[in-house]
A and B are shown apart, each in its own frame.
Chain A
């Protein structure tokens, strides 16, 4: 079967959900006629019409506000906030209104809206077009955060997000858009809140999400050649977290490493560590995280490369914690 590209997976999910449910609408800046700045959403307006797929002004407050109001009034809006960094402008409608409405209205209306946003560093976009917005939303009950790592998951999880009755933040890592991979079964819909064990191993569990999963898998291959057998967990949904899958794995491997692209302070990796230490302390020999520094993301290539977790830095960190040595190290 032909491989599926991540950006096409996102588009296909939108396409299929727009076709399946009349209530689904999609809007954002330059998404319809130009097809999006990351070339993800081309052709959707032609197929579904400009009543359902349309371009907006540069008005993040209005886009998010309108999505909230529409979601409680019979539509299932999907919006694009072009870069995750621009979510700050859309914050009130998402965090204060959409996330709380089901609760404060005593369940009079759910808020089925999806916010798609391109996130993450490594593209030399600098401090204000590269951030990972997860921590800003992590502490807000009432919304979900979905963070796929593969084309197949991107499609199946976006379809699930659109069908979910809660507001969902759907994160697309910029450095995954060109990734190709196995497509899923036709019409596959994933379940939100479920992690996947994407590599089995017995020496330690490494948990990550999005681009990080690929770095961790590459690191695990390297570690395997050095006699260290890592299990890799792809979280796929960052809120709610699939604690059970992580705990089950750690109970077997007794070691937990969490790799997060994002600042150490306030990050989701700290939450995973806290959950596991609370619930499985007696199983743990070691638990730690590899994150980015508590600093804004630099532009200059050598600075940005050193800033981000990589397969090499993951391997080095594992050796440090296991008191082992890299095979080809002269140290």
Chain B
């Protein structure tokens, strides 16, 4: 067996032994995002939000390939990245509702969540910010001699940011243990990616000599297999890896987007490839679980999110005076 084959075989074995774990993670994200959408409409989540619905296989497949101590950076579309890393849904929901009990005490909000305990370097509101941060995290791992990898999630539109070109080159030249995960959902906000992007995105990484792979981002096991290879490459000290996941978001870019730019029939077609349905069908076919077990799982996740919402709505808001005092007394510049 070649090294790559072995990694893929190990990944398949892990998925098999984990049974329904990946599906459960994806369900958790989907139900969480549904709840965020409802709460946004009720005026409980503020400002703007960018939901991950439809893209769950990406973060879940990639994060399942990580070890404790690895770190990842997400984007403003970051709830999925956070939950896939194991961030507590309660702490995250409380944060989105601006509560004192949120992972960042209500200071951050949806676009800036940080939870280092769970390896979440941040959800970066600046397009390209995740790439930049992870380049540095990988540099620290390498120079400190720690065998960890750092993963950056970002959209395909981000490949047109200066950070993309500069950091990929930087990481490759220094052979940094970074994994760049380009989640290609076909649109930068409201503009089809091909209208604002010349050539092929993966080819940009290839031109720098970076290891690359493209996987079906609607299939969590395909993502997991590809990510396992990418992570192994980076962890082995062979330099950064670039993983493109071909995916789709089922909701608007942000709260106020009806999605008028979508191509006719595209949303329906992609909904038929819903990563949750794909994985569910596979588990049943493989005999890992039966219909009723999976229904039960779905009910359990839905109830969990209901509880999270209920607790979040009852959680206290931070006190303005205390928050500012704490910040000042913490040695802030």
| Chain A residues in the interface with B (C-beta under 8 A) | 29-30, 33-34, 37, 55-62, 85-86, 89, 123-129, 293, 295-296, 298-303, 305-307
Contact = CB atoms under 8 A, between A and B. Distances in A.
A58 B158 contact: yes
Nearest to A130: B47
A303 B160 CA distance: 35
A303 B104 CA distance: 13
11 contacts: A55-B196, A57-B197, A58-B127, A124-B109, A128-B112, A298-B323, A299-B108, A300-B107, A301-B46, A302-B320, A303-B320
Interface string B192-209: 000111000000000000
A36 to B, nearest CB: 10
B188 A299 contact: no
Interface string B264-307: 00000000000000000000000000000000000000000000
B107 A55 contact: no
A58 B111 contact: no
A303 B106 contact: yes
Majority-rule SS of A interface residues: loop
Q: How large is the interface on B (under 10, 10 to 19, 20 to 34, 35 or more residues)?
A: 35 or more
B332 interface: yes
A57 B321 CA distance: 42
B107 A299 contact: yes
B170 interface: no
Contact of B320 (A60, A61, A306): A306
B327 A295 contact: yes
B98 A302 contact: yes
A58 B318 contact: no
A306 B48 CA distance: 20
Closest 6 CB pairs of A and B: A299-B109, A300-B106, A300-B98, A124-B46, A306-B320, A124-B47
B317 interface: yes
A34 B106 contact: no
Given A55-B196, A126-B109, A303-B98, 13 more contacts: A33-B191, A34-B261, A57-B157, A57-B197, A85-B126, A129-B125, A299-B47, A299-B107, A300-B99, A301-B98, A301-B317, A303-B320, A307-B320
Contacts of A296: 107
Contacts, number: 117
Given A30-B190, A299-B107, A125 B48 contact: yes
B314 interface: no
B111 A129 contact: yes
A128 B104 CA distance: 15
A302 B318 contact: yes
Contact of A295 (B125, B189, B332): B332
Contact of B196 (A57, A60, A123): A57
Nearest to A57: B160
B47 A56 contact: no
Given A34-B190, A57-B188, A302-B317, A127 B108 contact: yes
Majority-rule SS of B interface residues: loop
A58 B261 CA distance: 17
A240 B115 CA distance: 43
Contacts of B319: 302
B47 to A, nearest CB: 3
B41 interface: no
Contact of A34 (B112, B126, B189): B189
B324 interface: yes
B324 A293 contact: yes
A67 to B, nearest CB: 15
Contacts of A124: 46-47, 98, 109
A153 to B, nearest CB: 26
Contacts of B102: 300
A127 B320 contact: no
Interface string B89-118: 000000000110010011111111000000
Contact of B189 (A30, A62, A123, A293): A30
A298 B157 contact: no
Given A30-B190, A300-B317, A58 B160 contact: yes
A86 B317 CA distance: 29
A7 to B, nearest CB: 14
A87 to B, nearest CB: 11
B162 interface: yes
B150 to A, nearest CB: 21
A125 B47 CA distance: 5
Given A125-B111, A126-B108, A126-B112, A34 B318 contact: no
A296 B261 CA distance: 35
A303 B107 contact: yes
Max chain B Cβ within 10 angstroms of own Cβ: one of A62, A295, A303, A306: A303
B114 to A, nearest CB: 11
Contacts of A123: 47
A217 to B, nearest CB: 25
Contacts of A307: 320, 324
Contacts of B332: 295
A55 B191 contact: yes
B191 A30 contact: yes
A298 B57 CA distance: 32
A58 B109 contact: no
